[in-house]
Amino acid sequence: MKHSLLCSAIALSLFGCGGSSSDSENTPSQPQNTAPSLSGVANNTVKALQSTTVTLEMSDNESDALTFTIEDKPQWVTVDLSENTAALTLAPGFFDIGSHELALNVSDGELSQAYSLTVEVDDNPEQWRDDISLSRAELRGAWSNSANDFNIVFNGYDAGALIIDDTMKQFDYELNNSATAVNLAVDPALCGPYCEREQQTATLRAVAESDSQLRIHVEGLEQNYTFNMAKRSAPSVEKAYSTDELVLGSSFLGQLEINTESNLEAKFYLPNQYYKSAGIVGTYDGEILDVNEVIINGPLSYYSDKADVIFSQHFYKKTSGGIKEITLGRNVNYVEPLFIDDNFIVYDIVHSGEVLSSLDGHSVDDFDGLAPLLTDYASLSAQYRLNQVAPPALSFGDKYIGRLVGEHIINDTVFLKAVEVIFDTATELTIPFTVPHAEEPYELPITYEIGPNQLTLNYQESEVEVAFFQNHKGDTLIASDMSQGPKWVTPFIAIQEQQPLSVQSFAGVYEHITDAYYKSDVFYSVFHSDGTLGYRLLADGPLDEVELSEETTHFWGVHDSRVVFIEYDSCSQATNFAECLSLVKRADADNLFTYVQSLTPLSTGAESTIFNYSSYYGGWTNSESDSVSNTAVNSLRQLKKH
């Protein structure tokens, strides 16, 4: 009996013994060779940090020398060879958890037989460690599990993004006192690191570690998660579009594209000031973009030549008492992409602060809370990635949700943000602008051309490019005025035929899904059947906590297939909706101040309805030209009826 060891495999050689005869006349015919066999192969289960032994028996009808191999043998499998057996010791660790197929082979040198041994490595929470310390430097970056359906991103300060399947949420984080756990405060939706909505608390800790991986356990979310996580390499940057979580009104369309001399369209969240977009010019070294110039689209001040973002705040003087207003600036230093895939983009914007106003002889430390606003800080920006697509097939004569133009002026009225479009033919379309109290919408006819990547509108003596996108959910979105760079995106949806409105059918309690107040959970509007409305009732909790008997603020009624609601102040002499609407129309005709709003149902889903929300301000006086101007604004809102 001999053993032989083959390269890159464990081998067992079995030698049989036999005799031979010199009488050639009586030599029997040679029997046909048969393949050897292996017994004892079965499915096996073992826990991490435990071991078990699998015993395999080899045999051959002709007693030939046999060779046993395991292809690509894992390190946690060892083989003990003895006689005609191979004892496999399975001793996996936490980073071997999962299903493994061991490819076995037994051969007599001429014929071989393949076998498969399934080994299931299970978790072993009893052996989890609770003493693994973490640091911000170690955590910084993006971590993913093997299925890539659980990703977590940390910046080097106190923010991160959690990406589970096709959803993304931002969080603030801190290490516990022993640095063995990470406390997460998870936002309910993407609303920036300075969002003040109630956060969900969770705890992340490492229960096993290797040179390049962490096994983490997260408690406190909708369910508990335990995964082996590997740190992702720095993301490659290519041209990509992105947006925050889509709201129906409109969402900012960002552009991410970096090379040695290029721009990056970013979304900024900085202390005390929010900017929709900024164009960044700088130098990219493969990891970060050093910022040389920032062009901000948003509110600017006379300090803008000294700092990128300006804001003022009151501070208490610790030494002499009293309150002083101090003007501060935030300078954007560099941008670092942290995570990029087909659905999401996450990056840091690192900025520092400076004082732009006089401190009247005081130092920074003399004011409570001033010093932290001057330090370097990284604002995490988490966005959904959009993929540009060809224009979809259009049904001519049907109406769609989607913003194609931003502003149109006729006579003394400015029409803003139309959110409906009718494609009349392959070359002509109509954009309706809803005016709440008018009998019919104002309609703007436009000619257009369908190209391979966009629609080109002939609008106001110029061409406007309209592009289409899809998000990670497969929704189709539309962006107007792409010729001027990325602007805004809105949904692009075929409008469904709605049931006729009546006071009886519409009266009820509505949750404002896409029109929540910045610092609250949700608003409700209560349309009473008597034609009065308790508008924008703030609720910090569930619906049964809303005070439905709260004093009403508006008259409301159905007018020309839409719900019109008017504040009492606009028709103080009226006692019902019909009188109020009549007074508003008369005031508008006389160029007196008019404010009226409406909701037109466009598309109803399983739980909510998308409305065209229209507001009209009439009788505004332009002091420069002493003229009267009116403004009609359209946008999209989503409400859920309870």
Model confidence at 147: pLDDT above 90: yes
**Same-domain pairing of 135 and 120:** no
Model confidence at 15: pLDDT above 80: no
**Same-domain pairing of 375 and 398:** no
Query: Which pLDDT score, from 0 to 100, does residue 9 have?
Result: 39
Residues 6 or more apart whose CB falls under 8 angstroms from that of 478 comprise: 402, 403, 404, 466, 467, 468, 469, 489, 490, 491, 492
Q: Which two tokens stand for residue 135?
A: 């640091």
Residue 139 and residue 181: Cα distance in Å, rounded? 11
Q: Where residue 216 falls among pLDDT bands split at 50, 70, 90? A: very high
**Same-domain pairing of 515 and 619:** yes
In a domain, 28, yes or no: no
The residue-averaged pLDDT of 321-331 equals: 90
Query: Which pLDDT score, from 0 to 100, does residue 238 have?
Result: 83
Query: Is 632 in contact with 414 (CB distance < 8 Å)?
Result: yes
Query: Which pLDDT score, from 0 to 100, does residue 10 have?
Result: 39
**Same-domain pairing of 436 and 507:** no
Q: Domain limits at 553?
A: 503-624
Paired residues of 488 in beta bridges: 252
Model confidence at 221: pLDDT above 90: yes
Residue ending a domain, among 174, 209, 231, is 231
Residue 403 and residue 423: Cα distance in Å, rounded? 13
Residue type for 100, please?
Answer: H
Give the number of domains in the chain.
5
In a domain, 631, yes or no: no
**Same-domain pairing of 85 and 146:** no
Which is nearest to 570 in space by CA: 537, 598, 593, 599?
Answer: 593
In a domain, 201, yes or no: yes
In a domain, 370, yes or no: yes
**Same-domain pairing of 180 and 255:** no
**Same-domain pairing of 470 and 606:** no
CA 238 to chain centroid, in Å, comes to: 19
Model confidence at 118: pLDDT above 70: yes
Query: Which pLDDT score, from 0 to 100, does residue 294 have?
Result: 83
Model confidence at 565: pLDDT above 90: yes
**Same-domain pairing of 120 and 132:** no
Residue 176 and residue 182: Cα distance in Å, rounded? 6
Residue 393 and residue 370: Cα distance in Å, rounded? 56
Model confidence at 125: pLDDT above 90: yes
In a domain, 174, yes or no: yes
Terminal CA-CA length for the chain:
82
Residue 186 and residue 167: Cα distance in Å, rounded? 13
Model confidence at 193: pLDDT above 70: no
Residue type for 277, please?
Answer: S
Residue ending a domain, among 90, 124, 158, is 124
**Same-domain pairing of 368 and 411:** no
CATH of the domain at 139: 2.40.128.280
Residues 6 or more apart whose CB falls under 8 angstroms from that of 408 comprise: 414, 415, 418, 431, 433, 444, 460
**Same-domain pairing of 355 and 407:** no
The residue-averaged pLDDT of 162-188 equals: 92
Residue ending a domain, among 124, 146, 175, is 124
Model confidence at 65: pLDDT above 70: yes
The residue-averaged pLDDT of 569-584 equals: 94
Query: Is 594 in contact with 618 (CB distance < 8 Å)?
Result: yes
In a domain, 208, yes or no: yes
CATH of the domain at 94: 2.60.40.10
Model confidence at 11: pLDDT above 50: no
Query: Which pLDDT score, from 0 to 100, does residue 601 have?
Result: 95
Which is nearest to 474 in space by CA: 400, 376, 392, 401?
Answer: 392
SS3 content of the chain, % helix, strand, coil (to 5): 5, 50, 40
Model confidence at 508: pLDDT above 80: yes
- Count other C-beta atoms under 10 Å from residue 464's C-beta: 21
Query: Which pLDDT score, from 0 to 100, does residue 41 have?
Result: 74
In a domain, 634, yes or no: no
Model confidence at 306: pLDDT above 70: no
Query: Which pLDDT score, from 0 to 100, does residue 261 have?
Result: 62
Residue 495 and residue 64: Cα distance in Å, rounded? 78
Query: Which pLDDT score, from 0 to 100, does residue 189 have?
Result: 65
Model confidence at 545: pLDDT above 70: no
Query: Which pLDDT score, from 0 to 100, does residue 4 have?
Result: 35
- State the pTM of this model: 0.81
Query: Which pLDDT score, from 0 to 100, does residue 486 have?
Result: 65
Model confidence at 85: pLDDT above 60: yes
Residue 64 and residue 113: Cα distance in Å, rounded? 14
Query: Which pLDDT score, from 0 to 100, does residue 138 have?
Result: 93
* 423 or 513, which is more confident: 423
* 39 or 523, which is more confident: 39
**Same-domain pairing of 211 and 284:** no
Contacts 24+ apart (CB under 8 A), 69-72: 69/6, 69/9, 69/10, 69/11, 69/104, 69/105, 69/106, 69/107, 70/9, 70/10, 70/102, 70/103, 70/104, 70/105, 71/9, 71/102, 71/103, 71/104, 71/105, 72/103
**Same-domain pairing of 441 and 478:** yes
Kindly report the average pLDDT of the chain as a whole number. Answer: 85
User: Over the stretch 335-355, which tens digit does the pLDDT of each residue have?
Assistant: 999 999 999 999 999 999 999
Residue 636 and residue 600: Cα distance in Å, rounded? 10
In a domain, 266, yes or no: yes
Q: Where residue 3 falls among pLDDT bands split at 50, 70, 90? A: very low
